[in-house]
Amino acid sequence: MREEQNLKLKRIYSGLLRTALFGVLLFLVSARVKGAEPLVLVIDPGHGGENLGAEYEEYTEKDMNLIVAKAMKAELEKYQGVEVYLTHDVDQDMSIKDRAVFAGEKNADFLFCLHFNSSVEHNLFGAEVWVPAGGEFYAKGRSFGILQMEEFTALGLYSRGIKTRLNDRDENYYGILRYCTEEGIPSVLIEHCHLDHPKDQPFYRQGDAQLMELGRLDATAAAKYFGLKSETLGVDYSGYPVPETDVPAQLVRPDKTEPDLCYIEVMEIDQETGDATVRIDAEDKDSYILYYRYSLDGGNTFSLPEEWPRPEAWNRSAKSNSVTLTLPFDQRLSLCVQASNGFDVWAESNSIALDPIPDPERLRREEEERQAAILREAQKNYKEITCAPEEQDASADVMPVLLILAGIGVCMLFVSLVLAKTIYLLIKDKNRR
């Protein structure tokens, strides 16, 4: 009886052991299968079909986006364990909602929406990354955006930052970010540069090869973010230090307040060239200083925006900036400066009244004319002084001659009269005889 019980217990233990081993084996297999699942990335070329996007000269954004997207896809496919999809690979109309749904159907781990930019007044420049405003979608988007911005700035593009934007319902302003969040997919919207500004044009005007290079740059940022490696490219980003971003408890709103500080001081003015050295102190505690611009008429009109120095990183601006402004001559001026934060909100500085700077060229002309007038007056006086005695001497020399000639004339007249009388008397006497 006891032996039967022992045999039953052994069978029970054996069954439990087999079940446990089967469970462990199943766990290992499932973990292996899960680990073998590819990373799914979706690339969305912005616009398409009748939606042209930005247009400038002969450039159309929708065409450029497609070239960059295809290059990004081709580059990412060189890495191991990645599946890459385009929301569309031909020029076609496609709703923003459908793009996000497409990514959801592919169980995408991330969506990258690619764009180029332009501004209403054609005065803005630089690259920027827009990210969802809430939760883990913000954290993942910003962490990737930092890597993307490092690639941009290494290329030479000026950073406009990593930003959020909300509509009047406190939703993500950009539809692709809003719909991807609804689909549970992390996403970013990448604005590579501005088509309509001279500072950005060198980054896209050299043909399709340059656009493809931008696509490879985007792929590199993604590969670093996901720790990918490629035997084809000979790179391994496993364990790459991805910046950590805390998951915010509330929506991360754009900074709509103007910079905290904007103050100017004129350090020096070169009277010969009109160049003025101006120190600008500017600071924004909530973000960073993006641009500055200046006015010479008290703020009625301003120059085009210029980039603010960032000696350390794209999101850490210098606290002061010394600039050289060329001032117009012979004008009374009122100098002031504006500085903007990362969301294009401007703060205006104090105003400084500047007395007119005499035009050196005008002063030289006036001096030359004055010297010429002095020279002409001197020459005139010299002639009066030197020429008058000569005329008097000449008159003195001529007068005696004239008197002598006059005397001789009188004498000759007298003699002629005497001779005429004598002849007359002789003729008269002869006739009498």
DSSP code at position 50: T
Give domain status of residue 294, yes or no: yes
Give per-residue pLDDT as tens, 107-127.
999 999 999 999 999 999 999
pLDDT band at 31 (very low <50, low <70, confident <90, very high): very low
Give per-residue pLDDT as tens, 174-210.
999 999 999 999 999 999 999 999 999 999 999 999 9
Q: Answer with the one of 338, 358, 378 that is the final residue of a domain.
A: 358
Range with the poorest average pLDDT among 15-19, 146-150, 317-321, 361-365: 15-19
Range of the domain at 342: 261-358
* 76 & 222 share domain: yes
Give residue 17's pLDDT.
41
* 230 & 306 share domain: no
Least Cα distance to 65 among 14, 132, 26, 116 occurs for: 116
Give domain status of residue 281, yes or no: yes
* 154 & 278 share domain: no
Give residue 7's pLDDT.
46
pLDDT band at 36 (very low <50, low <70, confident <90, very high): low
Q: Which residues, 6+ apart, have CB-to-CB distance to 396 below 8 Å?
A: none
pLDDT band at 25 (very low <50, low <70, confident <90, very high): very low
DSSP code at position 133: S
* 266 & 328 share domain: yes
Q: Answer with the one of 310, 337, 358 that is the final residue of a domain.
A: 358
Give domain status of residue 130, yes or no: yes
Reading the block at residue 380, the tokens are: 């005139």
How many structural domains comprise the chain?
3
- Backbone torsion region of residue 82, taken as left when φ is above 0, otherwise alpha when ψ lies between -120 and 50, otherwise beta: beta
pLDDT band at 401 (very low <50, low <70, confident <90, very high): low
Reading the block at residue 200, the tokens are: 């950005």
Tell me how far CA of residue 269 lies from CA of 282, 327, 332, in angstroms: 22, 9, 14
| CATH classification at residue 50 | 3.40.630.40
Q: Using the predicted structure, report yes or no on whether residue 141 has a pLDDT greater than 70.
A: yes
Give residue 26's pLDDT.
35
Structure-model confidence comparison of residues 45 and 406, the more confident one: 45
* 190 & 280 share domain: no
Give per-residue pLDDT as tens, 146-174.
999 999 999 999 999 999 999 999 999 99
Give residue 22's pLDDT.
36
Structure-model confidence comparison of residues 104 and 11, the more confident one: 104
pLDDT band at 21 (very low <50, low <70, confident <90, very high): very low
* 73 & 27 share domain: no
* 315 & 213 share domain: no
DSSP code at position 431: H
CB-facing half-sphere around the CA of 3: CA atoms within 13 A: 0
Give domain status of residue 150, yes or no: yes
pLDDT band at 425 (very low <50, low <70, confident <90, very high): confident
Q: Which residues, 6+ apart, have CB-to-CB distance to 254 below 8 Å?
A: 163, 164, 165, 166, 343
Average pLDDT over residues 348-362: 95
Give domain status of residue 30, yes or no: yes
* 16 & 93 share domain: no
CB 316, CB 259: distance < 8 Å: no
Give residue 2's pLDDT.
47
Pairing of strands 39-45, 110-117: parallel
Q: Which residues, 6+ apart, have CB-to-CB distance to 13 below 8 Å?
A: none
CA 61 from centroid of its chain's CA atoms = 19
CA 345 from centroid of its chain's CA atoms = 16
Give residue 405's pLDDT.
81
Going through 118-250 in order, the beta strands assigned E by DSSP cover 127-130, 159-163, 187-194, 229-230, 235-236
* 43 & 23 share domain: no
Give residue 9's pLDDT.
47
Give domain status of residue 255, yes or no: no
* 67 & 212 share domain: yes
Least Cα distance to 188 among 218, 211, 217, 210 occurs for: 218
| CATH classification at residue 348 | 2.60.40.650
Give domain status of residue 416, yes or no: no
- DSSP string over 81-114: TEEEEES-SSS----HHHHHHHHHHTT-SEEEEE
* 146 & 211 share domain: yes
Give domain status of residue 364, yes or no: no
Structure-model confidence comparison of residues 24 and 77, the more confident one: 77
Give per-residue pLDDT as tens, 223-245.
999 999 999 999 999 999 999 99
Reading the block at residue 358, the tokens are: 């005499």
Give residue 266's pLDDT.
97
208-226 vs 135-155: helix axis angle to the nearest 10? 130
Q: Answer with the one of 315, 338, 358 that is the final residue of a domain.
A: 358
3-state secondary structure of 307: strand
* 57 & 104 share domain: yes
CB 158, CB 125: distance < 8 Å: yes
Phi, psi of 340, deg, nearest 5:
-115, 155
Core vs surface per residue 247-266: b (16+ CB within 10 A) or e: eeeeebebbeebbebbebee
